[in-house]
Amino acid sequence: MATYLILCRSLTYAQKAARALERVGITATILRTPKGLSQEGCSYCVRVSERSITIAMTALRETNAKITRVYVCHPTGEIREVAR
Q: Do 22 and 82 meet the contact criterion of CB atoms below 8 Å apart?
A: no
Q: What is the pTM of this model?
A: 0.90
**Average pLDDT of the chain, as a whole number:** 92
- What amino acid is encoded at 14 in this protein? A
Q: Do 6 and 48 meet the contact criterion of CB atoms below 8 Å apart?
A: yes
The domain total for the chain is: 1
Q: What is the CATH number of the domain that holds 12?
A: 3.30.70
At residue 35, the pLDDT reads 82
- Report how far residue 32's alpha carbon sits from residue 18's, in angstroms, rounded to the nearest whole number: 14
What's the domain range around 72? 3-83
20-58 residue pLDDT tens: 999 999 999 999 998 888 766 778 999 999 999 999 999
